[in-house]
Structures are given as C-alpha cells and as structure tokens.
Copies of this chain bind each other. A is one copy, B any other.
C-alpha cells in the first residue's frame, strides 16, 4: 500500500527546498548585478556567487535574461510590500492608488539604478499587477473611477508610470513632476478634479520599511 502521507510530506519538503534554492540564486544574482551592472556578468559569475554546481543552477535558470527578469520582479515585489505597509489602512481605492503611485515614483527618483534596472523588463511582477488591478476594480465599484474598461485603465496607469520613469532617467525633472504625472493619471481614471486637488495637497507618507536597492554597495552609502 502506498503511504500517501509520507509522499505528501516528501513532496512538500522537496518544494520548500526548491523554493529556498531559487531564492538563494536570486539573492546571489542581486549581488552580481549590483556589482557588475545588468550587462557585464556571465553565467559563471552567478554560479560562483550562489556557490552551487552548474547543474543545480541550470535546473532553475537557463539564461542571464531569465535571471534579469526574475531579479527585477523580486525588486518590484519588495517595493510593493513597502508601499502596502503605508497604504493598506487607507479607506478608499483612490487614496491607495494615489499614494501607491507617488511612493513608486519617489523610489524611482531617489534610486536611479533601481529605476533603470526594473524599467528594462517589459512586464511587471504579479504583485504589481494584482495591486493595480485590485485598486482599479475597487475604485470602479465605489464609482470613484470612471473608465470605459479596466484593461485600458491598467494600461494608462502602468504605461504612464513607465514612460515617466524613462524621463526621470533621461533628464532632470522639476520636483513637482511626480505629482503632475499622478494628477494626469487620476484625471484619466475619471477622478473628480476637486478630489484630485485635495489628495495631492496631502504629504506623501515616509516609507517605514525601506525597499531594497540594486545600487552598487559603494554608491549606496
């Protein structure tokens, strides 16, 4: 007779080990990218930093491009956790969306290496997608967002922020610029003009949980 409990236990233990190995590789990848930038490393750098065999490594990632994408998503997830800490108690989806976007742009403005790194990757992490989609859905439900379609609203939010990150990397922007971007996006989501004005008068909360950086250690001080 098959002992299902034992098999389930073995499966679970295997799964946990596999997740741990993946995280170990991503931590190593973060260090390698921080030290060498996104273009210079070769696969051997990652294998050496993760301190594992080439075979084990290739069970998880098959190219530097895959590692870049996974590292970028890891960084985005980490920022989302920091942002959620600040916005989760805000009662309205418009408020959460407003300060979520402002905190995101603030990180991008203060940490250009992070900004350049995550903006290389075309698709956002699942946590970013979930957060934006959920806030959009809630705001449509409470009639605070008036948009013809949720996908169009998502593309507006995510596309505008990405483009403004590109601008912040390419030129020096005035300090009012992040709020002007968020103002324009809120208009696009159909938020009432007075409401936008009141929201943007408020101070942006300090992030109590600092988000990770990918900057070179020497530049991080």
Residues of B within 8 A of A31 (CB): none
Interface segment among A10-18, A46-54, A146-154: the answer is A146-154
Inter-chain contact A173/B155, CB cutoff 8 Å: no
Inter-chain contact A180/B156, CB cutoff 8 Å: no
Interface segment among A92-100, A107-115, A182-190: the answer is A182-190
Smallest distance from the beta carbon of A45 to chain B beta carbons, Å?
23
Q: Which of B122, B146, B152, B179 contacts A181 (CB 8 A)?
A: B152
Smallest distance from the beta carbon of A130 to chain B beta carbons, Å?
17
Inter-chain contact A152/B180, CB cutoff 8 Å: yes
Residues of B within 8 A of A162 (CB): 159, 162-163
Residues of B within 8 A of A181 (CB): 152, 155-156
Smallest distance from the beta carbon of A180 to chain B beta carbons, Å?
4
Nearest chain B residue, comparing its CB with the CB of A173: B151
- Whether a CB of chain B sits under 8 angstroms from the CB of A36 is no
Inter-chain contact B166/A152, CB cutoff 8 Å: no
Q: Which of B147, B163, B173, B179 contacts A184 (CB 8 A)?
A: B147
Interface string of A164-175 (1 = CB under 8 A from B): 101100000100
Bound form: Cα–Cα A152–B181 in Å: 5
Selected A-B contacts with CB under 8 Å, 17 pairs: A147-B180, A147-B183, A148-B179, A151-B173, A155-B164, A155-B167, A155-B181, A156-B163, A156-B181, A156-B185, A158-B163, A159-B159, A159-B164, A160-B160, A184-B189, A187-B187, A188-B188
Near B by CB (< 8 A), chain A positions 164-221 give 164, 166-167, 173, 176-177, 179-181, 183-185, 187-190
Chain A interface SS verdict (over half): helix
Smallest distance from the beta carbon of A135 to chain B beta carbons, Å?
16
Interface string of A18-34 (1 = CB under 8 A from B): 00000000000000000
- Whether a CB of chain B sits under 8 angstroms from the CB of A161 is yes
Smallest distance from the beta carbon of A155 to chain B beta carbons, Å?
4
Near B by CB (< 8 A), chain A positions 132-158 give 146-149, 151-153, 155-156, 158
Q: Which of B149, B156, B177 contacts A188 (CB 8 A)?
A: B156
Q: A188-B185, A188-B187 are in contact. Are A156 and B160 (CB under 8 A)?
A: yes
